Amino acid sequence: MKNNTQTLKILVVEDSKVTLKVLSNYLASMGIDAPLIAETGKQALELFERERPDIVLLDARLPDIDGFDVARKIRKLENEDEWSAIIFLTAMNTDEDLARGIAAGGDDYLTKPVSELVFHSKVRAMQRLIEMQRKLVDVTRKLDTANAELQRLSTTDALTGIANRRSLDDFLGREWRRCLRMKKPLSIVMLDIDYFKLFNDKYGHQNGDECLKGVAAQIAKAAPRASDLAARYGGEEFMLVLGETDEGGAMWMAERVRQMVADMKVKHYATDSKFVSISCGVVSVMPNEKQTIAALIESADAALYHAKRSGRDRVVAGVYGKFQLG
């Protein structure tokens, strides 16, 4: 048993020197040579908070604080994923005493004078529970990490690392309702890489992927606020959601992104500048109950279409409700 109990940290709370000596000898025979010692409830709580022992052997009667109160305070000190076994040491052995100890947060009890055989058995039993609890906490943390990663993957575009269409739809819905409630403007920017198919055909799909990632990174840099979102809309098309932003602010943001992409200086034979460029369509609204997100997106798409027809590598402001592409 010695090797199995070496990692146990045990706090003994006992004001009787005789009992303390007996318990220390019992623990030494199990391979635990240096238990934490407290002779008062105050010392016990201070040691518990600092050391976080695995097992607390707690005298029910202490000179300053009742042992049952100490147990209750220990339970309050524990975090959600923490648990220390509390074994009461008591000369009381009635059913009422046992019930009181359990209600206070105890897990078991030892009747004084303490039998060495019973002592060893109960410490081993608590050790098994502690090991199971540690494994459960470990599994729970791994599951939490895995769930967080799944959540991230489900809302992130695998190639570019920015928000995907699902995340965009959720965010835009929330931001629409928030701006509606607060009577604030909401703007979106539709962005499209100019002549991207020709880029792919000329430079290959691997370079095309790198181009998409580079453009996405520039768009993301322009959306640092909690009310902003940069997302991949589909293919070479992206969207910026700008909460509490009017048309002037959205036009400025779109022009900034357009210039940031131009500054990347990624070669593209088919554009006028001979570098990768983007076209942008901007639409702003003050959301009301008669308007819809679908109409907002259609309006921005129409503005993007006009930016492309006007020569590309530019920003065009659209009007909510104007969907005609001609």
Assess whether 100 and 181 both reside in one domain: no
- Number of domains making up the chain: 2
pLDDT at 8: 86
* Residue 131: Cβ within 10 Å count: 14
Assess whether 118 and 68 both reside in one domain: yes
**Which residues neighbour 197 within 8 Å (Cβ) at sequence distance 6 or greater?**
none
* Cis check: omega of the bond before 113, within 30 degrees of 0: yes
**For residue 85, is it left (φ>0), alpha (ψ between -120 and 50) or beta?**
beta
Percent of the chain, pLDDT > 90?
72
Measure Cα distances from 80 to 77, 93, 135, 272, 304 in Å: 10, 31, 15, 61, 52
Assess whether 143 and 179 both reside in one domain: no
Percent of the chain, pLDDT > 70?
96
Report, as residue numbers or ranges, the catalytic residues.
236
CA–CA dist 44, 66 (Å, integer) = 12
- pLDDT (mean) for 252-270: 96
Assess whether 171 and 307 both reside in one domain: yes
Assess whether 119 and 219 both reside in one domain: no
Residue 159 lies in a domain: no
**Which residues neighbour 277 within 8 Å (Cβ) at sequence distance 6 or greater?**
193, 194, 258, 261, 262, 268, 271, 312, 313
Assess whether 273 and 183 both reside in one domain: yes
Structure token digits, residue 21: 């000596």
Residue 160 lies in a domain: no
Q: What is the dihedral of CA 118, 122, 128, 133, to 10 degrees?
A: 180
Q: What are phi and psi of 281, to 5 degrees?
A: -120, 130
pLDDT tens, residue by residue, 36-79 = 999 999 999 999 999 999 999 999 889 999 899 999 999 999 98
Assess whether 61 and 132 both reside in one domain: yes
Query: Is the pTM of the predicted complex or chain greater than 0.85?
Result: no
Residue 201 lies in a domain: yes
Q: Which domain holds residue 194?
A: 165-317
Domain boundary among 148, 173, 205: 148
Residue 273 lies in a domain: yes
Q: How confident is the model at residue 14 (pLDDT cuts 50, 70, 90)?
A: very high
Residue 266 lies in a domain: yes
On average, the pLDDT of the chain sits at 90
* Residue 242: Cβ within 10 Å count: 24
Assess whether 143 and 175 both reside in one domain: no
